[in-house]
Amino acid sequence: MLTVNRSDIGRIRMANEDRSWAGVTAGGLTLAIVADGMGGHQAGDVASQLAVDAFREAMEPLPAEASADEASRMLQEAIRRANEVVYDMASRNEQYHNMGTTVVAALFVEETRLILGHIGDSRAYRISEQGIAQLTEDHTLVNELVRSGQISFEEAAHHPRRNVLTRALGTDEEVELDVQALDWRPGDILLLCSDGLSGMLGDTELLQVAGDAGLSLEAKADRLISQALAAGGDDNITVVLMQSGAAADGEE
């Protein structure tokens, strides 16, 4: 399994509050996480870093022979553990009051089964021969308005409150997360990203780059960052790409 991890502060922000990690656990499973922190000066980056560290630590004991059900339970427990850590820090320190973070996490079991967990508006996409498919649903006010028919999808893209989250990790003692298990095909690419990428580039642009067979996975990640910056770079930009199978042969 090949993994590539890139992040950029963007053109507007004074600090990078995104954190991410992709690699192999001690148990031998491929894992990745993207967290986009919030909470003001030095709070957002603290929240996202705490979440990534707590999640990774909780996932380390999962053995390579774990079933998809076991992996799903462990991933849920790891995200809830991350929520406890961030919430506790925010509760005990005035400067971190109300800090939180989005999370999107991916775990591959035997490289043919993908477990996804997420809270907030950091996204996961599948890029395949069939095109691009968004695998996660944003936990945002604007998405709720779209689902209820109050605004159109096109209106949502420019809505003044499009960044208001309805769920985040670390802001409450208990957290609700979405978890799903998906079959994974060799050669398909998984894209995890913060909204600094998805807010700047549409599906067509993401597919044009990530689906380009002439580019290495590293080149794809670099080009996605560059295009998000060229489109405005209004936020921190984080990209994780993961691929297994014949299309990744020779690159691992």
- Written as six digits, the tokens of 90 are 């925010």
- pTM of the entire predicted model: 0.93
Q: How many distinct helices (H) and strands (E) make up the chain?
A: 7, 11
Residue with tokens 């591959």: 108
Q: What angle do CA 7, 11, 15 make, to 5 degrees?
A: 60
Q: Which of 18, 89, 25 is nearest to 62 (CA)?
A: 25
CB count within 10 Å of CB 75 equals: 25
Q: pLDDT tens digit string along 33-64? A: 999 999 866 799 999 999 999 999 999 999 99
pLDDT tens digits for the chain (252 residues)? 999 999 999 999 999 999 999 999 988 999 999 999 998 667 999 999 999 999 999 999 999 999 999 999 999 999 999 999 999 999 999 999 989 999 999 999 977 899 999 999 999 999 999 999 999 999 988 777 777 777 766 666 666 666 789 999 999 999 999 999 999 999 999 999 999 999 999 999 999 999 999 999 999 999 999 999 999 999 999 999 999 875 554 343
Does domain 2-243 fall into CATH 2.60.40.1240? no
Task: Domain ranges for the chain, please list them.
Answer: 2-243
pLDDT of residue 140: 87
The residues, any chain, with a CB within 8 Å of residue 197's CB and separated by 6 or more, are 206, 224, 225, 228, 237, 238, 239
Identify any residues that bridge with 133 across adjacent strands, giving them in sequence order. Answer: 126
